[in-house]
Amino acid sequence: MATNDLLQRLPMKDDVTFTDLGESHRRTVETFIAAATIAAGDAVSLDCNKTNMAEKMIYVAPADTGSANTKAFVGVALAAATAGDRVQVVTAGVVNANLASGGASAGVPLMISTGGDFVDYSAGSVLQNAAITLEARADGTAHVIVWKQF
């Protein structure tokens, strides 16, 4: 089931600013079950390797374009998890994500790559544009906005 951090307040005065991302970020977080080891910040996909159709919609694994079973991107893991653990996934909104390369500046569209990482979106790619950077990549991560996929 999804939980939402909806817009809590929007100051009416122009000189009032937000000081905490948690005050107003419109982020949607859903709980899934980890099908494999997941690192915090990993892009995750539905695990289409499951034989039970219902399980395909509740198990996630690191998104990986090298496998046909892990290309159904759903969001970014908030914390690390091992197989069988529950894992909270940001399915829409701002989150710190792992980037394999690229994302050298803000405003770079991203798509999934391998091992739960994002890379710069390539025009003509068959993969969806999944997120956009809000800052330059630092130490392999950056804050991104995840686009709601389903």
Instruction: Provide the whole-model pTM.
Output: 0.85
**DSSP for residue 148:** P
**DSSP for residue 49:** T
pLDDT at 7: 52
The CA distance from 37 to 6, in Å, is 30
Cβ burial of 34 (10 Å; 0-12, 13-18, 19+) is: buried
- Residues 21-79: tens digit of each pLDDT: 555 567 889 999 999 999 999 999 999 999 999 999 999 999 998 888 999 999 999 99
The CA distance from 58 to 64, in Å, is 17
Question: For the chain, how many residues are written?
Answer: 150
Is the per-residue pLDDT at 9 higher than 80? no
pLDDT at 135: 92
- Residues 90-142: tens digit of each pLDDT: 999 999 999 987 767 889 999 999 999 999 988 888 778 899 999 988 888 99
Select from 3, 2, 6 the least CA-distant residue to 26: 6
Select from 111, 94, 108 the least CA-distant residue to 137: 108
